[in-house]
Copies of this chain bind each other. A is one copy, B any other.
Amino acid sequence: MRAEIITVGSEIILGSILNTNAQYLTRRLGEIGIEVLYHTSLKDNKEQLKQVIKTGLKRADLLIFTGGLGPTGDDFTKEVVSETLGLKLYLDKNIKNNIQNYFNKNNKSMTPNNIKQAYIPEGSKSIKNDIGTAPGIFIEWENKILVLLPGPPREMQHMFNKYIIPLIKQDCIMKETTIKTIGIGESHLETILKDIINSGDNPTIATYASEGIVDIKIVAKGNNEDYVNTLLRQTIEKIKDRIAENIYSYNNETIEEVVYKLLKENKLKIAFAESCTGGLITSRFTKIPGVSEVFDRGIVTYSNISKMKELNVKKHTLDKYGAVSKEVALEMAKGLLEKTNVDIALSTTGLAGPTNGDENKPIGLVFIGIATKEELIAKEFRLSGDRTSVQNKASLNAFNELRKILLNM
């Protein structure tokens, strides 16, 4: 079944709110095996809505509308849908009583407008609204299904889950997972995985890139759970065989979550000494609830004097090699480890830009140092993009270096 989600209302089309209803319904439909092909949003305009319905009927089998079921004058989704399908509206006494009861229960008085909500198209099924007043509508019409849901997300979600899913559920099961990779470009990745990606439409495989990270999303379909699980597992294995070392999660985790878990499993404590990343590593890491179990402290040593005082970096090293150097990265990590008594200390120093780069030390040059009781290493990176990009990529690479070291510890 091919579905289209149609969002009616000015809040979306004026940009006041994000279209979370379309996202929610798309995910839920995907989970029950119904593919969503289109999202359409439009404002409260009868003629435009009519055209959108006609277009939808041509290209989809299931149209789900949200919004425009309320009592006011610019709520007319039900009226326009009925008119477009050629269905008459009639007053449903049960719904009228339900609405009356809702108002009595909440000690509010019912306005004549609210009676409008008790009219439903002939041959349709009225869907109870347990939370608000506007009932939903379920219409089967010439091999198509049209579902009208209220706009407020809580009412819409409740109604959809409780009453609509049982009416439209297919026999097919759909499962998805996201493999997260680092250190490999999207086009390079697609070249490596070309034959797997193009091997058919089940599972579907799509890649999504964002600043240094490429997600591989896999969606498998089938008639029984075992089949779908096997399909998913086999696809993951095939991908793993080719790019295992670039994969940091098979389960849509962030790279800092992966590092956090590795530290926790190994009962290790960490501290950060940041220069060019300016606290971004520490800040990302402390977004994780419960991080205090593994995290001791972070020091953002921006000035040379703070590098010397906080981390015992030698003035001689700063003078001879400059603050952005492998030597300083090493001393920062070593100084932090000695000062804090953690198990692993990470340092960053680099040029995030936009100014102060030169030929020898261009903007984007970043050194990442790691000190443990057994080893002291530093790696050099040449990162592209503006200040924010360089800081982001440096922090991702820092977590990736930690991940690799922790896997071997």
Interface residues of A (CB under 8 A from B): 7, 10-20, 22-27, 30, 36-45, 48, 51-52, 55, 59, 70-74, 102, 105-108, 111, 113-114, 131, 152, 176, 185-188, 190-191, 197-198, 204, 206-210, 217, 219, 272, 277-283, 285-287, 289-292, 295-303, 305-306, 310, 340, 353-355, 364, 382, 384-389, 391
**Bound complex: CA of A361 vs CA of B339, how far in Å?**
32
**Bound complex: CA of A281 vs CA of B105, how far in Å?**
26
The SS class assigned to the A binding surface is mixed
Which of B13, B17, B106, B209 contacts A382 (CB under 8 A)? B106
**Bound complex: CA of A174 vs CA of B2, how far in Å?**
39
In the bound complex, residues from chain B placing their C-beta under 8 Å from that of A131 are 385-386, 389
Instruction: Decide: A10 and B289 in contact? CB cutoff 8 A.
Output: no
- Given contacts A186-B72, A187-B113, A299-B297, A39 and B12 within 8 Å (CB-CB): yes
Q: Give the number of copies in the complex.
A: 2
In the bound complex, residues from chain B placing their C-beta under 8 Å from that of A51 are 59
Instruction: Decide: B14 and A30 in contact? CB cutoff 8 A.
Output: yes
Instruction: Decide: A279 and B303 in contact? CB cutoff 8 A.
Output: no
**Bound complex: CA of A385 vs CA of B130, how far in Å?**
9
Instruction: Decide: B26 and A37 in contact? CB cutoff 8 A.
Output: no
Which of B71, B279, B364 contacts A300 (CB under 8 A)? B279
**Bound complex: CA of A302 vs CA of B297, how far in Å?**
5
Which of B209, B286, B382 contacts A279 (CB under 8 A)? B286
- Given contacts A27-B15, A280-B283, A306 and B296 within 8 Å (CB-CB): yes
Q: Which residue of B lies closest to A354 (CB)?
A: B289
Q: Which residue of B lies closest to A215 (CB)?
A: B16
Nearest Cβ on chain B to A124's Cβ, whole angstroms? 23
In the bound complex, residues from chain B placing their C-beta under 8 Å from that of A281 are 279
| List of 5 A-B pairs having minimum Cβ-Cβ separation, nearest first | A278-B286, A279-B282, A15-B26, A298-B300, A279-B283
